[in-house]
Chains A and B, each alone.
Chain A
Amino acid sequence: MSGLPLLSLAIWVPIIAGFVVLATGSDRNSPLARMLALLGAIFGLLVTLPLYTGFDMATPAMQFVELSPWIPRFNINYHLGVDGISMFFVMLNSFITVIVVLAGWKVIDNKVAQYNAAFLIMSGLLNGIFAALDGMLFYIFFEASLIPLYLIIGVWGGPNRVYAAFKFFLFTLMGSLLFLISLIYLFVQSGGSFSILDWHQLPLAMVPQMWIFLAFLVAFAVKVPMWPVHTWLPDAHVEAPTGGSIVLAAIALKLGAYGFLRFSLPIAPDASHELSGLIVGLSLIAIVYIGLVALVQEDMKKLVAYSSIAHMGFVTLGFFMFSALGLEGALVQMISHGFIAGAMFYCIGVMYDRVHSRQIVDYGGVVNTMPKFAAFFMLFAMANAGLPATSGFVGEFMVILAAVKFNFWVAFAAASTMIVGAAYTLWMYKRVVFGAVANHHVAELTDISAREFLVLTLLATGALGMGLYPQPFTEVMHSSVNELLRHIAVSKIL
C-alpha cells in the first residue's frame, strides 16, 4: 500500500484535468483539448491501478481510508475508503472515461473542450460517490453528478434532447431529495454522525427502518432504474450523445444498485428482509416484462436501453436473495454490464456516426461493408444475450443459480431472460448486420478506423477476460460480501 491518497487522486485528477481542458477555451484549440482530455483520463485510470494491486483481499474492512474534517459544524467529514464491493467501480469508471474520450474524438466538433471537461468532471464525481464513506459526501457527489450529465444530454444530444435532459434531471432529483431527508433523519437519530459505517451499527425500530428503506428505494430505484420508474432511461439514452449513453449505462445505473449495498441493506436490514418480496417482484417484472418491451423496439438505442433495465433487474434480484452467490453474481453482472452495455452503445454510435440513424429498418447487410465491425458487434451482442465465455454469462448464471436455491419459480422467471435476451439482441443483430445491403447509406459505409478498433478491442478484452476468468473479480469481493451478509442477518431492532 502506498502512502499516496489514492482515492483523492482518483476523484480530483479527472476533475482538475476537466478544468484544465475547459481552460483551452474555444473550438480553435479543440485538438489540444482532446489531447489534454485523453491524457487526463489515462492519468486518472493509472492512479486507480494501485487500488487493485495494493488491495488486501483478506479483510472486509474499508481500505485506502482518508479521513479529515470538512464541515465540523455538522460533523461532515471528507471520509473516503473502498472495500471489495466498491473498488471495482472506481476502476471501471476511470476505464470508461478513457473510452468515452476516445469515442467522442471525431464525432464531437462543437464545443469540444466543454464536452470533454464535462465527462472528466463527471468521472471524478462518480468516483467520489463510490469512494465516499460519509453520507453527506456521498449525497453531494451523487447530486452534483447530475449537472454534467444534464448538460451532456442537453447540449450534445439528439432532437428531443431538452425533454430528455429535464426528465433525467427531475426524476433523479425527485428520488434524491427523499434520500436527503433520510440522511438527515439518520444524522439526528445517530446523535450527530454522518458516517455511513456508524449508521450500519445504528439500531433502529421496524417502522423507521421501513420508512428509510422506502425513501432509499425511491432514490435508488430511479437510478437503477427499476420498473415502474424506469421511463426516463430510454429517453435519456436515445437523446444522449454516444459518450453520454456509455457513461449512463456503464456507470450511472450502477449508482443505484451500489446504493442498495451501501445504504439500504446494511442500514435497514430488517426492512430489507421484510420488503424483499417487493424488490424481487419488481426485479422480475424488469427482467421479463421489460425484456419483452425490448423485443418490439425499432430504435437500436432504445432496445439496448430496455435491455439494460432488464439486466439491472438481475442485479437487484441478486441482492435481495441474501446469498453470497446471488450477491456476487449481481456484482459481477454490474461490472460486466459496464463493459457490454458500454460496448453496445458504442457500436450503435459507430453506425450512427456514419448513417445518422438509429432505426433498425435503415440498416441491413452492414457485414458486407463493415466486416471487422460486424465481428466486434457480434461478440458484444452475444455477450449481451449471455453467451457462455463472455462476462454476461457469469453474472446471470450465478444469479440464476442463487435463485434456484431461493425459489424455483423465481429462478424460472429469471431464466426466461436467456431466451428473451437472446431473442431481442440477436434479432436486432440479424436485421442490422446480415442480409443484403439495404440501401445506399449502408453501401457507402466504411469499416472502423484504428481508433474505433482500439476502443472496441479494449471493451472486448474486458467482456471476454471477465467471462473466461472471473476469479480475480470474485476473490476481491468475497470477504466484503460475506461480511455484508453476516451484518444483514442480524436484526437491528432492539
Chain B
Amino acid sequence: MTLAEMQFVPPDLYPVSAEIFLLSMACLILIVDLFVRDKKNTLSFVLTQLTLMGAALVTVFTSARLLSLLIAVVLGPEAATDLTPRFVEALGIPVGDEITYTFSKMYVDDLMGDLLKLMLYLTVMLVLFYSRAYLLDRAQMAKSEYYTLTLFATLGMMVMISANNLVTVYIGIELLSLSLYALVALNRDSISATEAAMKYFVLGALASGLLLYGMSMIYGATGSLEISAIAERLFNGQANKTILGFGVVFLVSGIAFKLGVVPFHMWIPDVYHGAPTPVTLFIASAPKLAAFAIVIRVLVNGLIVVSQDWQAMLLILAVLSMAVGNFAAIAQTNLKRMLAYSAISHMGFMLLGMVTGVVGGDARYALNAYSSSMFYVITYVLTSAGTFGMILLLSRSGFESDEISDFAGLNKRSPWFAAVMMMMMFSMAGVPFFVGFFAKFSVLQAVVAAGYLWLAIAAVFFSLVGAYYYLRVVKVMYFDPPANKAPIAAPMNARILMSANGLAVALLGIFPQTLMSLCAFSLLRSL
C-alpha cells in the first residue's frame, strides 16, 4: 500500500450520534459538578435524566428504520409509510441499508441494537428515579459520581450492543465493568460493599482475561477480529478447527460470566447482596440487555457455523443455572440474595432460547428461538427493575428493607404496593396473566418446536421449584402480620413509576403481541 492510498477516511459519525451525545453529556456533568455545590446533586440528577431522554430522542430520530417502526406500532402501518418519508426528509436522516456499519466495520447500527438501546435508556431512567430517595437519605452515597458512573456504564452497554468487532465488544464490557466496580464500592464505609466490589473486580478481571484469551484464539483461527469477517471465513471453512474450538470455549466462558450463569455465577449473590441496593438494581437490570446483545453479536452473528459447539455448552450452562439458581434461592432469607439466585435461573431460562436456534444444521427455528430469548430478557429486565425498585421504595433512612421478613404484612401497610409486588412475583414465577408467563411460554414453545421435549420438561420442573420462593414472598406480604407499621416514605415520582412498572408487567401479560412482534421483527432485520 502506498502512502497515497493510505488516506484517512473520516468515519461516518451519524450512526453513533447517541453515543457521542451521551459521552459529551457525561463529561459535561462531571465538569458542572465541580462548580456546583449542592449536597442533593439535584442538577446532576436532572441533567442525567435529560441526557438519557436526549439519547433516546437522538437514537429514534437518527434512524429511519426505528422511526418508521415506532410510528407503525403507535399509529399503524399506513401512517408509517405516510409519515416516515416526511420526517426523514425534514430531519435529513440518511436512509441507508438495513444494517449500517461505521468505524471500518467495528461498529454496527441495526434495528435490534436500536430497540435494545431504547430499552436500555428506559431502564436506566427507571433505575435513577427509584434510587433517588435512597441516595439522598444516605450521606455517604449522595455523590454525583453515581450519576456519571451510571452514564459511563450506559455508554459501555451501548458499545456492547452495537459492537461488530471483538475488540469493540471488549471495550464495551470493560467500560461497563469498571464503572460497575466503582459503583459497587460507592459506599466506601460499608465493609460488605467493599468486599463485594473486590470479589466482583477480581472475578470480573478473570472473566475479562478469559474473554480476551478466547478472542485472541478466534483471531488466531480465523485471522480476523471483525465479527462479520469471522462468520464469512468460518463459512468458507478457512479456520483452524482446534484453535477455534478452544477460542469458543473461552469466549463462552467469558460471556457466561457476564450473564452470570452457573458455573460462572459465584459473584452474583455476593455482589447483589453486598452492593448498595440502587447499584444492585442497576446491575440486575440493564446489563442483562447488553449481555444478551453480545450473545447475539458474537455467538450468532460471528460463530453461527460452529453453533453446535456453543449450543451444547450453553445447554449445560442453562440447565445448571436453572437447577442451582432455583434450589439455592429457596434457602435465602435476604431478598436481594434470593433475587440474585433467581436472576441466575432466569438467565438460564433465557439461554434455552439461544440453544434451540439451530437444530442439526437447520436454522429454520432460529428467528423464533432468538426472538423468544429477546422477549424474555426484556421482560425480565422490566420485572427485575420493579422488584429491586420495590426494595428501595420500602427502605428509608437507616432501614434497608432487603430482608424477606421486612415485607411482612405489606398488604396491611399498603395494599396497592403489596399488589404490585405480588404481580412482580407471580410474573417471575411465570403465572398468567403476567408478562413472565408469556416470556416462559415463548421460550418453551421454541424449545418444543426444536424437538427438545426433555429440556422443556426440565425447564418447567425448575420453574415449579422457583414458584415456591416467589410464593413465599407473597405469603410474607399477605399472610403474615406486619412487622412494622411505618408508612411508606417514598417520593411521589417513585410511587407513580413503580405503579406504572407494575401495570406494565400486568398489561404486557395481557397484550404481549406488540412487544413479541417487535422482538421478532427487529431480529429479522438485523441477523
Contact = CB atoms under 8 A, between A and B. Distances in A.
Do chains A and B stick together as partners?
yes
Interface residues of A, number: 35
Interface in B468-527: 468, 471, 474-475, 478-479, 512-513, 516-517, 520
Given A143-B432, A162-B475, A184 B513 contact: no
Contacts of A74: 441-442, 445, 516
A105 interface: no
A188 interface: yes
Contacts of B437: 140, 143
A71 B445 CA distance: 14
A143 B471 CA distance: 14
Interface stretch (A40-48, A148-156, A325-333): A148-156
B444 interface: yes
A166 B471 contact: yes
Contacts of A155: 411, 478-479
A166 B460 contact: no
A170 B444 contact: no
Contacts of A151: 474, 478
B99 interface: no
Contacts of A72: 513
A173 B464 contact: yes
B488 to A, nearest CB: 16
B448 interface: yes
Interface stretch (A6-14, A174-182, A438-446): A174-182
B464 A174 contact: yes
Given A177-B464, A188-B448, A154 B431 contact: no
A70 B509 CA distance: 12
Given A72-B513, A151-B478, A155-B478, A188 B445 contact: yes
A52 interface: no
B350 to A, nearest CB: 17
Given A143-B432, A144-B431, A180 B513 contact: no
B467 interface: yes
A154 B478 contact: yes
A136 B441 CA distance: 10
A165 B468 CA distance: 11
Q: Which of B442, B460, B517 has the most CB of A within 10 A?
A: B460
A347 to B, nearest CB: 27
Given A181-B444, A188-B448, A147 B464 contact: no
A146 interface: yes
Nearest to A145: B432
A113 to B, nearest CB: 9
A283 interface: no
B513 A169 contact: no
Interface stretch (B73-81, B86-94, B167-175, B449-457): B449-457
Interface string A205-231: 000000000000000000000000000
Interface string B378-408: 0000000000000000000000000000000
A185 interface: yes
A302 interface: no
B492 to A, nearest CB: 19
Contacts of B461: 177
B426 interface: yes
A166 B512 CA distance: 29
Contacts of A161: 479
A181 B433 contact: no
A166 B520 CA distance: 37
A177 B433 contact: no
A111 B432 CA distance: 24
B73 to A, nearest CB: 14
Contacts of A180: 441, 444, 460
Contacts of A184: 441, 444-445, 448, 456
Contact of B467 (A114, A170, A181, A187): A170
**Interface band, chain B:** 20 to 34
B209 interface: no
Nearest to B448: A184
Contacts of A187: 445, 448
Interface string A50-77: 0000000000000000000011111000
B55 to A, nearest CB: 29
Nearest to A153: B479
A71 B433 contact: no
Given A150-B471, A169-B467, A177 B445 contact: no
Interface string A422-437: 0000000000000000
Given A144-B432, A170-B467, A184-B456, A114 B448 contact: no
B61 to A, nearest CB: 28
B463 interface: yes
Contacts of A162: 475, 479
B447 to A, nearest CB: 8
Nearest to B516: A73
Contacts of B438: 71
A169 B430 CA distance: 13
Given A71-B513, A181-B448, A184-B448, A166 B468 contact: yes
A70 B478 contact: no
A169 B425 CA distance: 14
Contacts of A147: 426, 431
B263 interface: no
Contacts of A144: 431-433
A151 B478 CA distance: 8
B517 to A, nearest CB: 6
Nearest to A151: B478
Contacts of A140: 432-433, 437
A170 B468 contact: yes
A378 to B, nearest CB: 37
Contacts of A165: 475, 479
Q: Which of B437, B438, B457, B479 has the most CB of A within 10 A?
A: B479
B478 to A, nearest CB: 5
Contacts of B411: 111, 114, 155
A71 B516 contact: yes
B471 A169 contact: yes
B457 A185 contact: no
Given A70-B513, A114-B415, A155-B478, A177 B460 contact: yes
Contacts of B460: 177-178, 180-181
Nearest to A186: B448
A25 B449 CA distance: 46
Nearest to B446: A184
A73 B521 CA distance: 11
Nearest to A26: B415
Contacts of A114: 411, 415
Nearest to A72: B513
B431 A146 contact: yes
A165 B476 CA distance: 13
Given A140-B433, A146-B431, A173-B464, A181 B475 contact: no
A139 B460 CA distance: 15
B512 A71 contact: yes
Contacts of B464: 170, 173-174, 177
Nearest to B468: A170
A114 B419 CA distance: 11
Q: Which of B432, B433, B438, B464 has the most CB of A within 10 A?
A: B432
A1 B60 CA distance: 51
Which 6 residue pairs of A and B lie closest in terms of their CB atoms, listed nearest first? A177-B460, A140-B432, A154-B479, A184-B448, A73-B516, A71-B513
Interface of B: 411, 415, 426, 431-433, 437-438, 441-442, 444-445, 448-449, 453, 456-457, 460-461, 463-464, 467-468, 471, 474-475, 478-479, 512-513, 516-517, 520
14 contacts: A74-B441, A74-B445, A140-B432, A140-B437, A144-B431, A151-B474, A162-B475, A173-B467, A177-B461, A181-B444, A181-B460, A184-B441, A184-B456, A187-B445
Given A177-B461, A184-B444, 18 more contacts: A25-B415, A72-B513, A73-B520, A74-B445, A74-B516, A114-B411, A151-B478, A166-B475, A170-B464, A170-B467, A170-B471, A174-B464, A177-B463, A181-B444, A181-B448, A181-B456, A184-B456, A187-B448
